[in-house]
Amino acid sequence: YIKSVSHEKIPLLHSTETYDLINRCDEVASSVAAWSGDGLHFILKDKAALEKHFLTTKYASFIKQLNNYGFTKINSKLEESG
């Protein structure tokens, strides 16, 4: 999964928490979640591991929260093509 965001729509607290979560995954478990090569998007790669080891909520709830705060899903083929 690849997500992008319009920063104007996201409360600072949620934006910071998401940023920290992706940074933590990118540093210690990039097979779970990571930043894209350009650093503008993040990629959710392993939802089971993300939910088990990094989230304090269910994966589906996390995705709903992202959607509520203006994050949008980008086609996963985008990452493959660069």
* Residues 45-82: tens digit of each pLDDT: 999 998 888 888 888 888 888 888 778 888 765 444 44
Q: Please write the tens of the pLDDT for every residue from 25-41.
A: 999 999 999 998 888 88
41 Cβ contact partners less than 8 Å away, ≥ 6 residues apart = 2, 3, 4, 35, 74
Whole-angstrom distance, CA of residue 38 vs CA of residue 13: 23
Chain centroid offset of residue 51 CA? 12
Whole-angstrom distance, CA of residue 31 vs CA of residue 43: 10
